[in-house]
Amino acid sequence: MSENKATVRRYIDGFNKNDHTQILDCLTDDIVWTVYGHFRISGKPAYDAAIENEDFSGYPELHIVRMVEEGETIMAEIHGRTHRADGEEVRMVMAEVFVMRGSLICERRAFVINLEQDDVK
């Protein structure tokens, strides 16, 4: 496994454990995080603040299905679940683009689709 893929795996593992230090150690100081249709933030302090969201309780359970790497870019298919603050479970699939610099994530672009009924819908 390449160093870049190992960083992405370590990053996702940090989210699964809600380990802010582990997550932030995988990022450059000038990280840009975009979740299309929702938000764009820049920098580690803003990223750290966005890791936990008052609209949700606990932390997500994320599973990397596959990763493809080309140069300094990794594309990952991720399946996950989390809970809204009211306890409702949210299931989702994500297509994530990780742009790397020096084996750290300098940009993350996420396309997130909530699943309502099964793995397709």
Count up the domains in the chain and report the number: 1
Spatial distance between the Cα atoms of 110 and 27, rounded to a whole number of angstroms: 15
95 assigned to some structural domain: yes
CATH at residue 19: 3.10.450.50
Nearest to residue 108, comparing CAs of 21, 38, 57? 38
**Per residue in 64-103, pLDDT tens?**
999 999 999 999 999 999 999 999 999 999 999 999 999 9
Model pTM? 0.93
Report yes or no on 120 lying in a domain.
no
Of 63, 82, 84, give the one whose Cα is nearest residue 13.
63
Q: Answer yes or no: is 45 within a domain.
A: yes
- Write the pLDDT tens digit of every residue in 51-65: 888 888 888 999 999
How many angstroms separate the first and last alpha carbons of the chain? 32
In a domain, 121, yes or no: no
